[in-house]
Amino acid sequence: MKKSSSGQNSGARSGRAGSRQGFRSREDKPARAVARPSPKSPAKAAGKAPRPAPAVRSEKPAARAQTRPAADAPRQPTRAQAKAAAQDVLATGVQTLVVEPDEADMRVDRFLVARFPQLAFTHIQRIVRKGELRVDGKRAQPSDRLAAGQKVRIPPLKLDQPRPVSRSAAKDQGDREFLKSITLYEDKDVLIINKPMGLAVQGGSGTTRHVDGLLECMRDAEGQKPRLVHRLDKDTAGCLVIAKTRFAASTMAKSFRSRTTRKIYWALVAGVPRVRQGRVSTYLAKEGEEGDARMKVARHGDEGASHALTYYAVIDTAAQKLAWLSLKPVTGRTHQLRAHTAHIGHPIVGDPKYFDIENWELPGGIQNKLHLLARRIVIAHPRTGKPIDVTAPLPPHMQQSFNLLGFDTSQYDPIVEAPEE
């Protein structure tokens, strides 16, 4: 802040100096002409010195007032500042945006996040869900994919939505250090972090600290920041993939959509499945209001129902009371693993939404927190095509439970050989 103030003071001083110089060049000559009487002047005939022309004093403030706007004019904005200012202007009314080639295959909601980072994600989803946004004149769903050249009509956006606060160098440094401490893999295109349990991926009602916000500290010279490629629930720990460039975001999004990305989760569940290795195939649909929404098993054809497929395997058990499961989701539906384990009668320990076993007591020493970890992810590198294979360690509360139950994380994981489709 001090640096900014000194810059403004310096600019103001140089501006005032410029004003004085401009005043002399424009005003002194007329003033002398008024002060010098003609040969027939009565003052000269009487032998009296002419009085100083009052025009000099009266016009001096006016001259300064005329030149002050030039002195106070802002410095030339950077490219990123100009882009932000343009977004603010556009956000005041209806506008039509054209999808750029490097934005092809982006989800509609992600497209809006990239174009209007100052708007809350929940507000963006609400706009799309209400049908206020049109793609080539038609209503769109948040998950619809865009094609290059398509025209997206945006309704007037609410300018009172939360905006990013000005960031200090100390905050940026602190966020960079935190992200570095949880980084599992990084290169110029890809960042994979070990997301802690309790840290939201994106902002929402009452959420001020989240991964998407932390990524603000990584904006480049063009104002672009890394992009989320997929999401994890707030209380799910583990591998989270982030694209550092638009190209990487587009390429890796295709990998997730085509199901070539390999994901393995670990969970601690209540009871032991009778079938030690199996699959869960259902349709899932959202029910409830935003914030309290959960996924329910639905039938094919039900409104909002999407197919969800999960493979699972039992790695170890504890006295038929608890089981350590390895899970491989083929599809990527909201709360898919949490809803599927509950559907087969073995909800995940510590799940506040889907744990529905009555009179079930939490074993001593085990914390009542969601025991779900995005353990491993294998994804093709966006440029080389070579696989990036990353594994996340157990979060502290799950490590405590595994130690208590005597589970050995070096055990063979049978889910590795599970089908991909």
For every residue of 215-284, DSSP letters joined together read GGGG--TTS---EE-S---TT-EEEEEEESSHHHHHHHHHHHHTT-SEEEEEEEEES--SSSEEEEEEEE
Superfamily name with CATH number, domain 79-154 = RNA-binding S4 domain (3.10.290.10)
- Return the pLDDT at 375: 97
Q: Locate 266 and state its tokens.
A: 């670990």
* High-pLDDT (> 70) share of the chain, %: 73
For every residue of 97-149, DSSP letters joined together read EEPPGGGTT-BHHHHHHHH-TTS-HHHHHHHHHTT--EETTEE--TTPBP-TT
Domains 79-154 and 168-421 share a fold: no
Which range, 56-65, 187-196, 360-369, 403-412, is most confident? 187-196
Which range, 81-85, 123-127, 153-157, is most confident? 153-157
- Return the pLDDT at 201: 93
Tell me the domain boundaries of the chain.
Answer: 2-71, 79-154, 168-421
- More confident call, 267 vs 247: 267
- Return the pLDDT at 154: 86
pTM above 0.85, yes or no: no
- More confident call, 160 vs 125: 125
**How confident is residue 257, by pLDDT bands cut at 50, 70 and 90?**
confident
DSSP secondary structure letter of residue 202 = S
Mean pLDDT over residues 206-226, rounded?
87
| Beta carbons of 284 and 290 less than 8 angstroms apart | no
Quick one: 124 exposed, middle or buried, by C-beta within 10 A (0-12, 13-18, 19+)? buried
DSSP secondary structure letter of residue 93 = S
Which range, 55-59, 106-110, 114-118, 353-357, is most confident? 353-357
Q: Which residues are catalytic?
A: 233
Q: In this model, does residue 232 exceed pLDDT 70?
A: yes
Q: In this model, does residue 26 exceed pLDDT 90?
A: no
Q: Is 3.30.2350.10 the CATH number for 168-421?
A: yes
Mean pLDDT over residues 398-402, rounded?
97
pLDDT digits (tens, 9 = 90+) for 297-341: 999 999 889 999 999 999 999 999 999 999 999 998 999 999 999
Contacts of 184 (CB under 8 A, 6+ apart): 192, 193, 194, 239, 390, 391, 392
Which range, 34-38, 81-85, 353-357, is most confident? 353-357
Q: In this model, does residue 59 exceed pLDDT 70?
A: no
- Return the pLDDT at 196: 97
- More confident call, 64 vs 113: 113
- Return the pLDDT at 75: 52
Q: How many CB atoms lie within 10 A of CB 221?
A: 8
300 vs 293: CA distance, rounded Å: 20
Quick one: 218 exposed, middle or buried, by C-beta within 10 A (0-12, 13-18, 19+)? middle
- More confident call, 232 vs 78: 232
Q: In this model, does residue 2 exceed pLDDT 70?
A: no
- Return the pLDDT at 99: 87
Backbone angles phi and psi of 12, in degrees to 5:
-70, -40
- Return the pLDDT at 250: 86
Which range, 26-40, 45-59, 137-151, 235-249, is most confident? 235-249
DSSP secondary structure letter of residue 331 = S
**How confident is residue 87, by pLDDT bands cut at 50, 70 and 90?**
very low
Query: How many residues in total does the chain contain?
Result: 421
